[in-house]
Amino acid sequence: MKLHTLFALFAICFISSPVLSQNKDEMAESSVKTQTAFDALMLSKTFEFVAKTVFPSGQSPKDLSGSNYSITFTPEVIASHLPFYGTGHSGMALTRDRGMRFKGVPEDFAVEKTERGYVVSAKVRDENDVFSISLTVSNSRTATLNISTNNRSSISYYGEVK
């Protein structure tokens, strides 16, 4: 009886081994396809960063989940619809703060592949300010966005690229 049970267990392990390795191969192939699609997205310079958390200078982080705050990147225009929490400097006293909202043609727009993902940098000028943008994107699509301007304290956002 023990011999039959042992033989049955051995047979199950022997039969299921190729099935498991086939699933691993399929998963690896799927991962390669996903990474290739992500690389194409990043190198096209056309993607969206969706903010999940904001890290204002000198303040506690604030959760932005579900708020649809984002910045859209294309070679022709970068459009930001992000909140701003921080200190305004010269030039903001007479204007109503609209958050970190701007739209303009990107200058020095670069997307560089690194070992761990991508680094994106650009400058955008609007009628009131110059926005220096730095986006670090991991291969898992999570990202950190830093924006510095002449008229406000710098601010960071955490989120993902879509």
Q: Tell me which residue range forms the domain holding 69.
A: 45-161
Q: 66 and 129 in one domain?
A: yes
Cα 85 to Cα 88: distance, rounded to the nearest angstrom: 9
Q: 137 and 67 in one domain?
A: yes
What global pTM score does this model have? Answer: 0.77
DSSP assignment letter at 158? E
Q: 82 and 10 in one domain?
A: no
The pLDDT value recorded for residue 15 is 55
Instruction: Work out how many domains the chain is built from and give that number.
Output: 2
Q: 135 and 79 in one domain?
A: yes
Between β-strands 142-149 and 130-138, what pairing exists: parallel, antiparallel or unpaired? Answer: antiparallel
Q: 50 and 35 in one domain?
A: no
Q: 38 and 56 in one domain?
A: no
Q: Where are the alpha helices (DSSP H) in 44-106?
A: none
Q: 55 and 28 in one domain?
A: no
The pLDDT value recorded for residue 94 is 47
Q: 120 and 99 in one domain?
A: yes
The pLDDT value recorded for residue 43 is 93
Q: 86 and 132 in one domain?
A: yes
The predicted-structure confidence for 27-68, as pLDDT tens digits, reads as follows 566 666 778 899 999 999 999 999 999 998 888 999 999 889
Question: Which has the closest alpha carbon to 70: 52, 88, 85?
Answer: 52
Q: 77 and 121 in one domain?
A: yes
Q: 94 and 23 in one domain?
A: no
The predicted-structure confidence for 96-113, as pLDDT tens digits, reads as follows 556 889 999 999 999 999
Neighbours of 34 (CB within 10 A): 12
